[in-house]
Amino acid sequence: MKVAVVGATGAVGQTTLKLLDERKFPVSALRAFASERSAGKTVTFKGEQIRVEVLGPAAFKGVEIAFFSAGSAQSSEYAPRAVKAGAMVVDKSSAFRMDPTVPLVVPEINAHAIAGHRGIVACPNCTTIVTVMPLKPLHDVGRLRRVIATSFQAVSGAGVDGVEELRHQTLAWARGEAITPRHFLHQIAFNVIPHIDRFGEGGYTGEELKLVNELRKILELPGLAVSPTTVRVPVFTAHSIAVNAETEVKVTVARAREAFGDFPGLTLWDEPSANRYPMPVTVEGRDDCFVGRIREDLSCDNALNFWVVGDQLRKGAALNGIQIAELLTR
Amino acid sequence: MKVAVVGATGAVGQTTLKLLDERKFPVSALRAFASERSAGKTVTFKGEQIRVEVLGPAAFKGVEIAFFSAGSAQSSEYAPRAVKAGAMVVDKSSAFRMDPTVPLVVPEINAHAIAGHRGIVACPNCTTIVTVMPLKPLHDVGRLRRVIATSFQAVSGAGVDGVEELRHQTLAWARGEAITPRHFLHQIAFNVIPHIDRFGEGGYTGEELKLVNELRKILELPGLAVSPTTVRVPVFTAHSIAVNAETEVKVTVARAREAFGDFPGLTLWDEPSANRYPMPVTVEGRDDCFVGRIREDLSCDNALNFWVVGDQLRKGAALNGIQIAELLTR
């Protein structure tokens, strides 16, 4: 397959290149695109240096599949052009996610939604993906009624600049220097910021509203009650979400463990007696999402509390995108 | 007043000494106690060096008020002896909090509970104090029905050793060295750990069960439905809690803002348009608890989401203890 990666120098683009190799995606030719400030740089794919190109009118000639992770503006402009040029697009931006003509896919959950795509398939927001992975098997056994989710999101979700910001601020602290925020609105080292994306309707942030709308679309539950709080934490690359999920039918902890453990892409790490539960540093670099701290809610008969962690760059972004491409090219 | 501080070299003890001075508590004599490993050290009070003593049989002779923050075992053993010697005890440990004969007090909320004390008054757990501060005014206007709380807890909650652990691990990272956990079970730098205190009933941790039981006792709502998740984050000294609170009577955001803003010890920082909301780094060193991100719950008619942050060492511990002492000696 002739493959293009748009946003190839970014955090998700870099992970996409690594995973295309790891998963032996059948790449016959690879083109790497990025913004003008990366023009002339190279990226590495299977040990080879590939020159980074700037997107232009003929960018997608001959390309069969294009991975977009360069932001909404780039996707809005260039994804339709790539489709017109004959490519299938896997879009990691928020540009088309809520477009009713565009499937929003987590392959383990709604692979069927890919049928009837018109060239673009959208990949959900990273926090949505990690949150929805345990919600689907729970829904299958108990029918979801209400979800209250509180996220602990890594800086990689804000791209390479976010990662560099945490690194620089922490090194400045180690040298005894003052910390000056550049990329985030506030200091992120040794802090938590309850604000991701712009503020919107009802005092919710864009990140919070994405979680509500995308969960509903992926699970095909347009009326699902979702209450979101999204928070940035000084962690490099894995997102954690504390979830309270209420179901129509009571699901015991034992039944939930079974359902989670059986679900593809989800691994159960829930052994309190061994102090074992997922954490960002133990999940980073892994493909699966990991779930633990499963407890019956003390405050509601038909609800469970649990804790799910996923690598934001892998299942939260690049891996999910490549899994979509694998479906598209099957 | 003749004052004793037990656990004077600890994080809470140190802050107690600082605040006794700041708040001009009428101290005529001060004795500082700590464990044997601190014997012979000195602590500073009002610029004077005070020699640290080890607790012994005659430790509390002549002491009128004693602040205990040396852990449950020390409190269980020595607080009753201090009372017997004629002192009033403000206990920051969990030893007596759920004892029905011991008042558990947050002065802004249940100062009346102090009446009838038998020598010991307990100070709630730090996370409970920060969480209950906005819950009380919300209860007063809407009657609380259910609380779902997810905490982001600073390392100071684990004492000086916790603070040193985050500092050392971060400095090791900055030098490119491996990180070895010593005090916490797992790496805390660049990580979040969904486990504080020992695991207990139903898969909940001691910290989570404390939140449930202490909220009920302070608010005098023995049947309050509480669903807790407590998480350690790499932050130095302020705790943040994401709260979802359901009330019997609908409380609008405007009404909640008014109620929060009017409550003593609570400050409203809720201006999304100015990117203003409380965060650990902006709250550290302040006496009040700060509340923001107030939103109507999208998933429930009579519920609000909000975010509250308090300095764990001040209102979460030492300050609340001194406020109790001020009530006791009024």
Q: Give me the DSSP letters along A73-106.
A: HHHHHHHHHHHHTT-EEEE-SSSSTT-TTS-B--
Contact map slice: A 21-60 vs B, CB within 8 A: none
Percent of chain A with pLDDT over 70: 100
Contact between residue B298 and residue A204 where contact means Cβ atoms under 8 Å apart: yes
Nearest-by-CA chain A residue for B284: A191
The pLDDT assigned to B45 comes to 97
Q: Do A299 and B146 touch (CB under 8 A)?
A: yes
Rounded Cα–Cα distance for residues B207 and B125 (Å): 8
pLDDT-derived band at B109 (thresholds 50, 70, 90) equals: very high
Rounded Cα–Cα distance for residues B239 and B245 (Å): 18
Contact between residue B24 and residue B35 where contact means Cβ atoms under 8 Å apart: no
Q: Do B280 and A191 touch (CB under 8 A)?
A: yes
Rounded Cα–Cα distance for residues A27 and B220 (Å): 66
Nearest to residue A308, comparing CAs of A259, A257, A268?
A268
**B-chain residues within 8 Å CB-CB of A186?**
275, 279, 281-282
- pTM, entire model: 0.97
Nearest-by-CA chain B residue for A146: B299
The pLDDT assigned to B330 comes to 86
**Identified catalytic residue from A117, A123, A139, A239:** A239
Rounded Cα–Cα distance for residues A268 and A289 (Å): 9
B146, B194, B298 member nearest A202 (Cβ): B298
Q: Residue A291 in 3-state DSSP?
A: strand
A202, A277, A281 member nearest B187 (Cβ): A281
Token pair for A82: 């790539």
Is B181 touching A (CB cutoff 8 A)? no
- Mean pLDDT across B238-255: 98
Q: Do A226 and B307 touch (CB under 8 A)?
A: no
Residue A16 has pLDDT above 90, yes or no: yes
The pLDDT assigned to A43 comes to 97
Window from A51-60, A224-233, A277-286, B110-119 with minimum mean pLDDT: A51-60
B192, B280, B281 member nearest A280 (Cβ): B192
- Mean pLDDT across B300-327: 97
Our measurement of the distance from residue A209's CA atom to the centroid of its chain's CA atoms, rounded to an integer in Å, reads: 15
**A-chain residues within 8 Å CB-CB of B229?**
150, 242, 244, 293, 305, 307
Q: What is the pLDDT of residues A260-277, one digit of tens each?
A: 999 999 999 999 999 999
Q: Residue A227 in 3-state DSSP?
A: strand
**B-chain residues within 8 Å CB-CB of A292?**
194
The three state secondary structure string of A9-60 is CCHHHHHHHHHHHHCCCCCCEEEEEECHHHCCCEEEECCEEEEEEECCCCCC
Residue B197 has pLDDT above 90, yes or no: yes
**B-chain residues within 8 Å CB-CB of A150?**
150, 229, 242
Strands A266-268 and A303-311 come out as unpaired
Residue B233's Cβ-side half-sphere holds a number of Cα atoms within 13 Å equal to 34
Strands B120-122 and B225-232 come out as unpaired
B308 to chain A, closest Cα gap in Å: 10
End-to-end CA distance of chain B: 12
A234, A277, A281 member nearest B194 (Cβ): A277
Neighbours of B244 (CB within 10 A): 23
pLDDT-derived band at B178 (thresholds 50, 70, 90) equals: very high
Q: What is the pLDDT of residues A62-93, one digit of tens each?
A: 999 999 999 999 999 999 999 999 999 999 99
pLDDT-derived band at B154 (thresholds 50, 70, 90) equals: very high
Percent of chain A with pLDDT over 90: 97
B151 to chain A, closest Cα gap in Å: 10
Q: B234 vs A37, which has greater pLDDT? A: B234
Q: Do A192 and B229 touch (CB under 8 A)?
A: no
pLDDT-derived band at B56 (thresholds 50, 70, 90) equals: confident
The pLDDT assigned to A249 comes to 97
- DSSP codes, B149-176: EEEEE-GGGGHHHHHHHHHHHHHHHHTT
**Where is B148: in which H helix or E strand?**
strand B144-153
Contact between residue B320 and residue B138 where contact means Cβ atoms under 8 Å apart: no
Token pair for A278: 């997922």
Contact map slice: A 229-288 vs B, CB within 8 A: 229, 231, 233-236, 240, 242, 244, 253, 272-273, 275, 277, 279-282
Residue A56 has pLDDT above 90, yes or no: no
Q: Average model confidence (pLDDT) for chain A?
A: 97
Beta bridge partners of B184: none
Task: Provide the H-helix boundaries in B23-150.
Answer: 72-84, 107-110, 126-142
Rounded Cα–Cα distance for residues A182 and A174 (Å): 18
- Mean pLDDT across A290-311: 97
Q: Do A235 and B297 touch (CB under 8 A)?
A: no
Task: Provide the H-helix boundaries in chain B.
Answer: 11-22, 72-84, 107-110, 126-142, 159-174, 206-219, 253-262, 280-283, 319-328
Residue B303 has pLDDT above 90, yes or no: yes
Neighbours of B216 (CB within 10 A): 17
How many A/B residue pairs have CB atoms within 8 Å? 171
Rounded Cα–Cα distance for residues A117 and A111 (Å): 11
**A-chain residues within 8 Å CB-CB of B204?**
295, 298
Nearest-by-CA chain B residue for A291: B194
Residue B96 has pLDDT above 90, yes or no: yes
